[in-house]
Amino acid sequence: MATEGHAAVAVAGAARRRVLFFPLPFQGHISPMFHLAGVLHARGFAVTVFYPDFFNAPDPSRHPAFDFVPVPDGRVGRGDGDGAGGDYLQATMASILALNRRCEAPFWQRLAALLESSGGDVACLVADAHLLTLMDVARRLGVPALALRTGSAASFRIFAAQPMLRDEGYLPARESELDAPVTVLPPAPYRVRDVTMTAGVGGHAQEQIYEIMSRAVAAVKTSSGLILNTFHALESAELAALRRDFDVPVFDVGPLHKLSPAGPAASLLRQDRGCLEWLDAQSPASVLYVSFGSIASMNAAELVETAWGIANSGHPFLWVLRPDLVRGGAAQQAAAVGLPDGFDTATRGRGAVVSWAPQDEVLAHRAVGGFWTHCGWNSTLESVCAGVPMLLRPCFGDQPGNARYAEHVWRVGLTLDTDGGGELERGKVESAIRRLMEGEDGAGMRRRAGELKSGAAECIAMAGSSCLSIDKLVNHILSL
Ligand code: UDP
């Protein structure tokens, strides 16, 4: 596997050892886990990936260097997690808890069988921090477990601070105080709405999110180490705070997609690579890339406002319209039926709409000048590492906090004004796109994003902080 940094030197001793991986089966969690597996494989470790056999199962044939063990999950799906209602986000939360429960016994059996047949070469398990139950299984079978958190260091501080935020009276959030500053997590520029993690979800899902966050904190506290897909130049203060507050070693090894590009192999959906050719024909930094990740959704009215805002801005665009992006739309057909009449004609010759893009490559393309994003951590990191400024429209979970950092700390993004109500309006979309793509503000953000891109490159270069962190991680694994 090709690597861009210098983290690929095999370490003596690693060749005999095997690292087990268990990703959470969502795109934003699978990609960094496979990237990490690629990095450790390049250092000489054998890799075995456990995965739920039904829910977003990876295709082993696309990763010939790794071994795979399917774990029956009782057919958990995003729409049918235990207790899930009709709401997509709530169903996602329910499925995380269901996976932990349903995979516990089968994972025990498969791990025990592997340990029996492996001749003692298993060094550790690296599991997603949302898989506490499975990390416990590993420990009970004598396998040390490390946690990979696929979000930012700052967002994990929010997870850990939930009890304190409740004690201090910030949470549960009162509607009238959503914009009040949170002063207890310096240097984070948060308001109350950014630390609730429950924006846009109802009562039952709020409790589920709270449970999911406290389980992730417990997973890290009981782990043999915390691995984070971030880098020192981006989050030095937040990493220092985690090292102070957690009694486990912390490894900042990001940006992982730059160290081990898994490309299409880790993508759950088929990427439309034709859009790269379309980008080839566009002028430098002229195209707005629009994508809301793999989970966020919008209603039909928001889709219409988004479409006309993009059209009226006059800028070339590449828009990822996932088949399930529109809530309540018939999956598969939503993209076809959702775009307003006249949109095609209004944008002819200057737009491309795809159902899934090779995002990493799109953002690195010279034609892309801005990214309208939902602020998922992978998207944020990928944008920063490509030097692309962002139009920010966070939806839920860690996304509002990521947006705050992008706008107020790194100053590489501009939040789309939705009057706090979350509703999109075409005029505001149009002027925000113009500010990002044309104005002085946009130029400043692009310059600062370029600086962060250089910072990321230094971190993954030989003797850079992420490269050294990977060295430490390798030695740590060998010492367990
Ligand atoms: N992604 C992609 N093609 C797309 C849209 C998204 O490959 O058309 C990838 C993107 O590069 C990122 C991941 O999907 O790595 C989304 O993760 P993120 O944390 O940004 O958001 P989530 O989907 O978890 O909300």
Q: What is the DSSP string of 341-393?
A: TTHHHHHTTSEEEESS--HHHHHHSTTEEEEEE---HHHHHHHHHHT--EEE-
374 C-alpha to ligand 1 centroid (Å) = 10
218 C-alpha to ligand 1 centroid (Å) = 26
Q: What's the rounded Cα separation, in Å, for the pair 445 and 432? A: 13
Q: What is the Cβ-side half-sphere exposure of residue 396, based on CA atoms within 13 angstroms?
A: 19
Give, to the nearest 10 degrees, the angle between helix 232-245 and helix 440-460.
60
Catalytic residue at 29? yes
What was the pLDDT predicted at 329? 54
Question: Which ligand 1 atom sits closest to the C-alpha of 31?
Answer: 15
Question: Which ligand 1 atom sits closest to the C-alpha of 29?
Answer: 24
- Best of 33, 36, 379, 384 for a ligand 1 pocket test (most atoms within 8 Å of beta carbon): 379
289 C-alpha to ligand 1 centroid (Å) = 13
Q: Which residue's CA is the closest to the ligand 1 atom numbered 11?
A: 359
The three-class DSSP label of residue 63 is coil
Nearest alpha carbon to residue 49 among 27, 84, 25, 73:
25
Of the candidates 73, 128, 136, 360, the residue annotated as catalytic is 128
What was the pLDDT predicted at 3? 43
30 C-alpha to ligand 1 centroid (Å) = 10
What was the pLDDT predicted at 203? 67
Q: What's 330's DSSP letter?
A: P
- 319: which strand partners? 290, 353
Q: What's the rounded Cα separation, in Å, for the pair 396 and 192? A: 13
Q: What's the rounded Cα separation, in Å, for the pair 386 and 449? A: 8
Please give the helix or strand (H or E) that residue 48 lies within, else none.
Answer: strand 46-52
List the structure tokens of 352.
Answer: 């491309």
Q: The domain 274-456 belongs to what CATH superfamily?
A: Glycogen Phosphorylase B; (3.40.50.2000)
Positions of the chain with pLDDT under 50: 1-7, 80-86, 331-337
Q: What's the rounded Cα separation, in Å, for the pair 454 and 384? A: 10
Residues 389-398, buried b or exposed e (16+ Cβ, 10 A)?
A: bbbbbbbbbb
Q: What is the DSSP string of 208-253?
A: HHHHHHHHHHHHHHTSS-EEES--HHHHHHHHHHHHHH-SS-EEE-
Report cis status (omega within 30 of 0) of the bond before 189.
Answer: no
What was the pLDDT predicted at 75? 76
Question: Which ligand 1 atom sits closest to the C-alpha of 267?
Answer: 7
Give, to the nearest 10 degrees, the angle between helix 203-221 and helix 88-117.
30
Question: Which ligand 1 atom sits closest to the C-alpha of 382?
Answer: 11
User: 9: buried, middle or exposed (CB in 10 Å: 19+, 13-18, 0-12)?
Assistant: middle
- Best of 378, 398, 399 for a ligand 1 pocket test (most atoms within 8 Å of beta carbon): 378
Nearest alpha carbon to residue 424 among 305, 304, 293, 288:
305
Q: What's the rounded Cα separation, in Å, for the pair 480 and 474? A: 10
Q: Map out the domains of the chain as residue ranges.
A: 14-266+460-479, 274-456
What was the pLDDT predicted at 198? 79
Give the tens place of pLDDT for each residue, 105-161: 999 999 999 999 988 999 999 999 999 999 999 999 999 999 999 999 999 999 999
The three-class DSSP label of residue 1 is coil
Q: Which residue's CA is the closest to the ligand 1 atom numbered 17?
A: 28
CA–CA distances in Å: residue 108 to residues 100, 101, 178, 477: 12, 12, 44, 21
What was the pLDDT predicted at 74? 85
Catalytic residue at 344? no
Please give the helix or strand (H or E) that residue 52 lies within, else none.
Answer: strand 46-52
**Are 472 and 251 within 8 A, CB to CB?**
yes
Q: What's the rounded Cα separation, in Å, for the pair 259 and 387? A: 17
Of the candidates 29, 41, 63, 130, the residue annotated as catalytic is 29
Token pair 């959030």 in the structure block, residue: 173
Instruction: Domain 14-266+460-479: give its CATH code.
Output: 3.40.50.2000
249 C-alpha to ligand 1 centroid (Å) = 28
CA–CA distances in Å: residue 102 to residues 57, 75, 216, 452: 15, 9, 18, 41
16 C-alpha to ligand 1 centroid (Å) = 34
Residues with CB under 6 A from ligand 1: 26-28, 31, 267, 291, 293-296, 320, 356-357, 359-360, 376-379, 382
Token pair 């043999």 in the structure block, residue: 224
Q: What are phi and psi of 306, to 5 degrees?
A: -60, -50
Q: Which residue's CA is the closest to the ligand 1 atom numbered 13?
A: 28
Q: What's the rounded Cα separation, in Å, for the pair 128 and 149? A: 6
Q: What pTM, to 2 d.p., does this model score?
A: 0.94
